[in-house]
Chains A and B, each alone.
Chain A
Amino acid sequence: MKKNHQGIIKENIKIAKDTFKLTFDSNIKEVKAGQFVSILIPDKTLRRPFSVSDFVEDKISIIYKLKGDGTKYISSLKEGEKIDFIGPMGNSFNIENKKRALIVGAGVGIAPMLYLKKVLNKNNIENFLISGFKEEKEIIKGSDKYVIGGSVLDSIEGLIDEYKPDVIYSCGPYIVLKLLSHIAKEKGIETQVAMEKLMACSIGVCRGCVIELKRGNETLNASVCKDGPVFKGSEIVWQI
């Protein structure tokens, strides 16, 4: 299936401080949790990738935080206007044979976790979504528990012990994913994390967004856009 698409904006609403949700008709039949779309920004060389935060019929939603020229353009889009996007790109969270999932979202990184939660519910996989935000005003709704201020990881060990998940899914800042992967590894629990890195092609050809993975005794480069964005936390060679 061709991956060039035109989206027609249905809704572009503010959902938290500097945070918006864009929903558009996509003409796409299937999106898996963890996958992303790359949106063309006028006069910019690089497309901007966004995780899908919801998918209803053929309507895709993304959640974005105002940051630079790209998100400024997206925030200006009105109902009925068109965007040029490619996708769905990348791999997805593996939910096969999972029974009890702990989902951890940090900041706007919660976007793909909201869609994942929906998919888990649909597949009757028990789950609990905990998310962390800097302040009350930044809360993106949809979690089972919120941590405001501090770190979403502050109470995570207790939660893991209590909830006893067989898998932890997460998306958020690098440091959160790194620490969470370490904690889970010590407890012998599988983690799957959705990574973020500046991308040029979104297709896997330019090798601009690679991270290092360790498999057995070998290390190899994997592209976040094509091999990822979801990786096993235990396979990533975490940097400082």
Chain B
Amino acid sequence: MADLSVDLNGFKLKSPILSASGTFGYCDEFEDFINVSKLGSVVTKALSINPKKGNEGNRIFETNGGMINRIGLENIGIKEFINKKLPILKEKNIDFIVNLAGSNFEDYIEASKIANKNGIKAIEVNVSCPNVKEGCLEFGTNPKTLYELTSSIKDVYKGFLIIKLTPNVSDIESLAIAAQSAGADCISAINTLKGLGVKIEITEDKKIIKQTVSGGLSGRCIKPVALSMVKRIKEAIKIPVIGIGGISNRDDVLEFLSVGADAVEIGTENFTNPNITEKITNELIELIDKLNLKNLDELKRKLRE
């Protein structure tokens, strides 16, 4: 059987297919649908230092080819994760990456310290959160802020550090370079795009009912944006890149690999087809065999020729 393993600068994955944060729970929630331990890694729902209740009101909105969410990072908090979920992941031999979120520098550092202390091998830092001390601008939109945040985390966290970039910037290269210079081991991109969902309904009695949901756009419709960003990032930096955005089938994965992604995360499609990660994994193996190649690295080389 074809070897799907990936070496991200020393951090080894058994497969390039990962689940994206926020779409897969904390650990084994998808076991009703797939064999989770076959994934390259589960990326956990974003964890903050304290539990968060998230946003009130409507949290999701379906769009053509995707959806908008404003969950507001509802999560159980990293301590609860370590107490309750970590043992399950270990027992079931599920590889995982812990996604971290914060609303100020101190939160990120504190959470990273906890991850470090508990031997978490890899973290993915969500830098799309608003920085409450700096006018709620996202950490990941300013290269200087991102550099400082990344290097501060690097100081306290000794595992594999992935910075997950936001696409809501004009110059993604400068952010990727800032994260690399500050010591990030890997970049993942993209997070959701800012979007506004508006629904207008005209009732039988001639009333106009309007619903709006402002949040992050994800799903199949964002793939071209993600491909473009991944390509630009890859050309600007040397560290590995995990591609994320609108992947729904095997060919989408090939497209990301062809523009330089070393691995990929699958997000919103898990809602549509909860077995999609396993399906794509199997199809990748079949393809590599069919092309008489030995492993994923050979496939990547072919795709990039």
A198 and B271 contact, CB distance less than 8 A? no
A206 and B272 contact, CB distance less than 8 A? no
Q: Which residues of A contact B63 (CB under 8 A)?
A: 45
A205 and B67 contact, CB distance less than 8 A? no
Q: Which residues of B contact A205 (CB under 8 A)?
A: 23-25, 29-30, 45, 270
Q: Which residues of A contact B119 (CB under 8 A)?
A: none
| Cβ of B93 under 8 Å from chain A | no
Interface of B, helix, strand, loop or mixed by DSSP:
loop
> Given that A45-B65, A200-B60, A205-B25 are known contacts, is A1 also in contact with B268, CB under 8 Å in the complex?
no
| Cβ of A208 under 8 Å from chain B | yes
B53 and A221 contact, CB distance less than 8 A? yes
Proximity bits, B32-75, A CB within 8 Å = 1, else 0: 11000000000001000000011000111111011101010010
Number of contacts between A and B (CB, 8 Å)?
A: 82
Q: Which residues of A contact B274 (CB under 8 A)?
A: 3-4, 86, 201, 203
Minimum C-beta distance from A221 to chain B (A): 6
Chain A 85-113 interface residues, beta-carbon cutoff 8 Å to B: 86
**How many B residues touch A, CB cutoff 8 Å?**
32
Q: Which residues of A contact B62 (CB under 8 A)?
A: 44-46, 198
Proximity bits, A172-213, B CB within 8 Å = 1, else 0: 000000000000000000000000001111111111111000
| Cβ of A21 under 8 Å from chain B | no
| Cβ of B219 under 8 Å from chain A | yes
B71 and A45 contact, CB distance less than 8 A? no
Minimum C-beta distance from A208 to chain B (A): 4
A46 and B272 contact, CB distance less than 8 A? yes
Minimum C-beta distance from B67 to chain A (A): 5
Q: How far is the CA of A86 from the CA of B32 in the complex (A)?
A: 10
> Given that A4-B33, A46-B62 are known contacts, is A206 also in contact with B53, CB under 8 Å in the complex?
no
Closest to B29 in A: A205
Proximity bits, B1-44, A CB within 8 Å = 1, else 0: 00000000000000000000011110001101100000000000
B74 and A201 contact, CB distance less than 8 A? no
A210 and B23 contact, CB distance less than 8 A? no
Minimum C-beta distance from A87 to chain B (A): 10
A4 and B275 contact, CB distance less than 8 A? yes
| Cβ of A40 under 8 Å from chain B | yes
B271 and A210 contact, CB distance less than 8 A? no
Q: How far is the CA of A209 from the CA of B57 in the complex (A)?
A: 10
Q: Indicate which residue in B32, B65, B268 contacts A3 across the interface (CB closer than 8 Å).
A: B32
Could you list 25 A-B pairs, sorted by A, with CB under 8 Å?
A3-B32, A3-B274, A44-B62, A44-B272, A46-B60, A46-B67, A47-B271, A86-B274, A198-B62, A199-B60, A200-B271, A201-B274, A202-B271, A203-B25, A203-B274, A204-B25, A204-B29, A205-B23, A205-B24, A206-B22, A208-B69, A208-B71, A209-B59, A209-B60, A210-B74
Residues of A with Cβ closer than 8 Å to B?
Answer: 1-4, 40, 44-47, 86, 198-210, 221
9 shortest interchain CB distances as A-B pairs: A205-B25, A208-B60, A3-B32, A207-B74, A201-B271, A208-B59, A200-B271, A45-B219, A200-B60
Instruction: Supply 17 further A-B pairs (C-beta < 8 A) apart from A3-B33, A44-B272.
Output: A4-B275, A40-B272, A45-B62, A45-B66, A47-B271, A86-B274, A198-B58, A198-B60, A203-B29, A203-B30, A205-B29, A205-B45, A206-B60, A208-B69, A209-B60, A210-B59, A221-B74
